[in-house]
């Protein structure tokens, strides 16, 4: 087995960072294939927390190749900030490889992200204003600037000029804001290009060579299934494909070359931003989960919406990505709960729904069908084998596997690497 995918099954913040980091111990190459600096993984190693936004999590292991695939909306400024932060902590960044086909996030993308949200008012998507959506939109409008052009001095100067003229018209006429300055932007970004040039390569060829050599590759999903632009709760979604299919387009690796898909499932559910969330608990239970889990955004600090596990969502994620096994995270956060609920089906106008409805209107009106479980009320953070987990916790996990139709593979009971239970 050489190519493994780790992806989120819910609305993100499942703790993918920890699982990727855990699995990255064995990986020789770690690849990001979508999203951008809106990702925000947190990885704890020996008591030090590393916040990663754009950087593949494999960076924390010496000698690992860390590939930023062509499907990533690449923000050079953020990348360099992260690289500098790593270098300061004594981490070797020489394994970074950046796709020459990735699209570059430029300052006008971030500005426009904010303006678009402002215009939308109550209908805002709740983006993190990292410019990811506008960057992908430019790609689709065929005016994007790719890394290969970004590192070509002449080409970048020319394309930036053309693009900024266009963008400034939009910024002034449509959004009523001040135009952005070409010269200073060019100077700043030329400097970034100079520093990043040595890390740029054709990552498609690189990954194919890695696959041929049977090296261990880990594909690291950012965001999550319910935020997928096509399969998530559109329009309250991200602008890329976090599902396993995203690897084909975002890394240039064919589906047949993927050996295993791991779905990360938080033991309860959270969501950031707008959009329907059937199991949301807008009550003291939701507050208790938020407090116990410190559920606030890594990058934005925004309080997350909280609720019970929605097994319908996880089942759907399994179907979309061909998930082989679940990595359950943050089970320890439920230690304090007297009782725990799991949504096993939806009811809509008195009928059981077997699919996740495409219509948000319907999804907002479904009634979750809950099963209730007794809480285990024990600190499980020190437990290292599945058998040692309280029976009540095992009952909860095994029912999750039954309802979703996906095997249990990993259970995480704390943020650290050793707080990980691997099932045989």
Give min distance, CB of 330 to ligand GTP, in A: 4
Among the candidate windows 14-22, 79-87, 103-111, 201-209, which touches ligand GTP by CB under 6 A? 14-22
Query: By C-beta, is 41 or 305 nearer to ligand GTP?
Result: 41
If we measure between CA atoms, which residue out of 44, 51, 49, 55 comes closest to residue 21? 44
- Footprint on residues 71-100 left by ligand GTP (CB under 6 A): none
Query: By C-beta, is 71 or 144 nearer to ligand GTP?
Result: 71
> How far is Cα 321 from Cα 323, in angstroms, rounded to an integer?
5
Among the candidate windows 10-18, 86-94, 98-106, 112-120, which touches ligand GTP by CB under 6 A? 10-18
Identify whether the C-beta of residue 129 lies closer than 8 Å to the C-beta of residue 38.
no
> How far is Cα 155 from Cα 23, in angstroms, rounded to an integer?
40
Identify whether the C-beta of residue 44 lies closer than 8 Å to the C-beta of residue 415.
yes
- Footprint on residues 318-337 left by ligand GTP (CB under 6 A): 329-330, 332-333
13 catalytic per annotation: yes
Give min distance, CB of 182 to ligand GTP, in A: 35
Give min distance, CB of 222 to ligand GTP, in A: 6
208 catalytic per annotation: no
Collapse the DSSP code of 265 into the 3-class scheme (helix H, G, I; strand E, B; otherwise coil) and give the result: strand
Query: By C-beta, is 32 or 97 nearer to ligand GTP?
Result: 32
Give min distance, CB of 36 to ligand GTP, in A: 13
Query: By C-beta, is 160 or 393 nearer to ligand GTP?
Result: 393
Q: Does 15 bind ligand GTP (CB under 6 A)?
A: yes
CA angle 79, 53, 360 (to 5 degrees): 130
Give min distance, CB of 190 to ligand GTP, in A: 32
Among the candidate windows 38-46, 178-186, 349-357, 358-366, which touches ligand GTP by CB under 6 A? 38-46
Q: Does 415 bind ligand GTP (CB under 6 A)?
A: yes
Among the candidate windows 12-20, 196-204, 349-357, 383-391, which touches ligand GTP by CB under 6 A? 12-20
Q: Does 412 bind ligand GTP (CB under 6 A)?
A: yes
Query: By C-beta, is 168 or 300 nearer to ligand GTP?
Result: 300
Collapse the DSSP code of 270 into the 3-class scheme (helix H, G, I; strand E, B; otherwise coil) and give the result: strand
176: left (phi over 0), alpha (psi -120 to 50) or beta: left
> How far is Cα 386 from Cα 394, in angstroms, rounded to an integer?
8
Name the DSSP letter for residue 376.
-
Q: Does 18 bind ligand GTP (CB under 6 A)?
A: yes
Query: By C-beta, is 12 or 286 nearer to ligand GTP?
Result: 12
Identify whether the C-beta of residue 7 lies closer than 8 Å to the C-beta of residue 222.
no
Identify whether the C-beta of residue 251 lies closer than 8 Å to the C-beta of residue 65.
no
What ranges make up the beta strands (E) of 255-405?
260-266, 269-271, 305-307, 309-310, 325-329, 339-348, 351-353, 367-374
Among the candidate windows 5-13, 112-120, 225-233, 234-242, which touches ligand GTP by CB under 6 A? 5-13
Give residue for tokens 């960057």.
Answer: 135
Identify whether the C-beta of residue 74 lies closer than 8 Å to the C-beta of residue 83.
no
What residues contact 33, with CB distance under 8 A and at least 6 apart?
69, 71, 72, 219, 220, 221, 246, 247, 250, 251
Give min distance, CB of 104 to ligand GTP, in A: 22
Q: Does 42 bind ligand GTP (CB under 6 A)?
A: yes
Q: Does 53 bind ligand GTP (CB under 6 A)?
A: no
Collapse the DSSP code of 55 into the 3-class scheme (helix H, G, I; strand E, B; otherwise coil) and give the result: coil
Query: By C-beta, is 201 or 423 nearer to ligand GTP?
Result: 423
Buried b (16+ CB within 10 A) or exposed e, 173-210: eeeebeebeeeebbeebeebbeebeebbeebbebbeeb
Catalytic residue chosen out of the listed positions 21, 41, 109, 138 = 41
Pattern of binders to ligand GTP over 160-199, x per CB under 6 A? Answer: ----------------------------------------
Q: Which of 3, 11, 12, 83 binds ligand GTP (CB under 6 A)?
A: 12
Which residues contact ligand GTP by CB under 6 A?
Answer: 8, 12-18, 39-42, 44, 298, 329-330, 332-333, 412-415
Question: Looking at the annotation, which residues are catalytic?
Answer: 13, 41
């Amino acid at each position: 087995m050489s190519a493994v995918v780790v992806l989120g099954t819910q609305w993100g913040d499942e703790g993918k960072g920890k699982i990727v980091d855990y699995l990255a111990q064995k990986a020789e190459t770690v690849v990001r294939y979508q999203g951008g600096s809106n990702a925000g993984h947190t990885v704890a190693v020996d008591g030090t927390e590393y916040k990663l936004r754009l950087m593949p999590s494999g960076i924390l292991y010496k000698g690992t190749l860390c590939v930023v695939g062509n499907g990533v909306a690449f923000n050079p400024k953020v990348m360099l900030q992260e690289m500098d932060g790593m270098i300061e902590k004594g981490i070797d960044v020489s394994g970074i490889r950046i796709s020459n086909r990735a699209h570059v996030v430029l300052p006008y993308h971030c500005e426009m992200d904010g303006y678009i949200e402002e215009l939308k008012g109550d209908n805002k998507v709740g983006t993190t204003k990292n410019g990811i959506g506008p960057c992908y939109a430019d790609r689709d409008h065929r005016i994007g600037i790719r890394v290969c052009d970004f590192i070509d001095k002449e080409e970048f100067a020319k394309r930036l000029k053309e693009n900024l003229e266009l963008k400034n018209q939009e910024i002034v006429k449509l959004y009523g804001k001040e135009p952005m300055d070409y010269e200073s932007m060019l100077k700043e970004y030329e400097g970034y290009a100079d520093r990043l040039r040595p890390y740029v390569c054709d990552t498609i060829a690189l990954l194919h060579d890695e696959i041929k050599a049977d090296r261990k590759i880990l594909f690291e999903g950012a965001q999550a299934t319910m935020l997928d632009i096509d399969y998530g709760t559109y329009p309250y979604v991200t602008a890329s494909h976090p599902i396993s299919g995203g690897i084909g387009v975002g890394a240039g690796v064919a589906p047949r070359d993927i050996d295993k898909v791991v779905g990360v499932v938080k033991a309860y559910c959270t969501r950031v931003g707008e959009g329907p969330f059937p199991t949301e608990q807008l009550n003291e239970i939701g507050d208790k989960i938020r407090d116990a889990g410190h559920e606030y955004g890594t990058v934005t600090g925004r309080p997350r919406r909280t609720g019970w596990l929605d097994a319908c969502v996880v089942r759907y994620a399994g179907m979309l990505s061909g998930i082989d096994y679940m990595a359950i995270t943050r089970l320890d956060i439920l230690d304090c709960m007297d009782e725990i609920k799991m949504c096993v089906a939806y009811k809509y106008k008195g009928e059981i729904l077997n699919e996740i409805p495409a219509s948000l209107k319907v999804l907002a009106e479904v009634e979750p069908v809950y099963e209730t479980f007794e809480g285990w009320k024990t600190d499980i953070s020190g437990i290292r084998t599945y058998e040692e987990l309280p029976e009540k916790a095992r009952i909860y996990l095994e029912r999750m596997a039954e309802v979703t139709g996906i095997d249990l593979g990993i259970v995480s009971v704390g943020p650290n690497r050793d707080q990980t239970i691997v099932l045989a």
